[in-house]
Amino acid sequence: MSTYSLEHIKYLKDLKKKKRIIYITQIAIIIVLLLTWEFLSRIGLINTFLFSSPSNIIKTISSLVTSNNFFHHVITTLYEIFISTFISFIIGFFIASILWSNDFLRKVFDPYLTILNSLPKVALGPLIIIWVGASINSIIFMSLMISLFITIINLYTFFDNTPKNYITLLKSMKANKFTIYKKVIIRANFKNIISTLKVNVSMNLIGVIMGELLVSKQGLGYLIMYGSEVFNINLVITSVFVLGIISTILYYIIHYFEKK
């Protein structure tokens, strides 16, 4: 026998229905946009040479798969995103935790973090190549520069804005700082940590693509650069389209773990 009241059961059903409608609407918007794009390109209102079309994107992906290039470039970019995200999030989480635990260090480094976060990292690309070398290391370094500082700032801000009454309660029980950090700061900010991870993934995706545009001979960023050089707009837009799919998949993977 259910322990829920009829009102609560109805509320849960309405909630599921609302979520279902939201997902259906999201998918419908994408389908309508793609169909409209294809229709306008077929009747000539959109120049397919400059803007491509969904059918041309499918043909380009099919051509890349046939030549055994598609999955190689996708896997390369995914690998770089994973490595960059893992490193930047671990380092960012560690530094944010240190800044929360030490007020002196926070006050010293706070302006530096803001300044470093505002620097035009892309403009430092040539220097990064000189410092690190024209390899995957440059791509990961570029990605770290774009994502690390904003990760530190976001996490520290969330930690610092934890409700003070929680901390006061544990202090009244003679809890030490590590116990407060483990029992209050982390648990109270779990959703904020996941939200930061979402931002971290998107920033690392941008960083990886920027790095690939500079030095890589493989990956989706390389395909974008190569397509631009030979004026193959279909290849450029196809690469961007695939990046959008990857970004969406990564978002929903993190969202799934957040729900769990």
List, for residues 91-111, the tens digit of each pLDDT value: 999 999 999 999 899 999 989
Looking at the structure, tell me whether residues 244 and 194 fall in a common domain: yes
Cβ proximity of 191 and 255 under 8 Å: no
Mean pLDDT, residues 121-142? 85
CB atoms within 10 A of CB 22: 10
Angle among Cα 240, 245, 251 to the nearest 5 degrees reads 125
pLDDT at residue 5 greater than cutoff 80: no
SS3 content of the chain, % helix, strand, coil (to 5): 85, 0, 15
Looking at the structure, tell me whether residues 91 and 131 fall in a common domain: yes
Residue 51 lies in a domain: no
DSSP code for 134: S
Residue 220 lies in a domain: yes
The predicted pLDDT at position 55 comes to 94
With a pLDDT cut of 70, the percent of the chain lying above it is 98
Task: Locate 157 and state its tokens.
Answer: 């801000």
The predicted pLDDT at position 134 comes to 80
Looking at the structure, tell me whether residues 167 and 40 fall in a common domain: no
Looking at the structure, tell me whether residues 72 and 148 fall in a common domain: yes
Looking at the structure, tell me whether residues 189 and 73 fall in a common domain: yes
Task: Locate 197 and state its tokens.
Answer: 């991870």
pTM to 2 decimal places: 0.86
The predicted pLDDT at position 3 comes to 65
- For 27, the domain range is 1-46
CA–CA dist 241, 253 (Å, integer): 19
One-letter identity of residue 243: L
pLDDT at residue 2 greater than cutoff 70: no
One-letter identity of residue 239: S
Looking at the structure, tell me whether residues 41 and 62 fall in a common domain: no
C-alpha distances out from residue 64 to 74, 205, 235, Å:
11, 21, 9
Higher pLDDT, 13 or 237: 237
CA–CA dist 219, 235 (Å, integer): 12
> pLDDT digit string (tens) for 48-88?
888 889 999 999 999 999 988 899 999 999 999 999 999 99
> pLDDT digit string (tens) for 244-258?
999 989 988 888 887
Looking at the structure, tell me whether residues 65 and 143 fall in a common domain: yes
Q: pLDDT category, 1, cuts 50, 70, 90?
A: very low
Cβ proximity of 84 and 168 under 8 Å: no
Looking at the structure, tell me whether residues 61 and 35 fall in a common domain: no
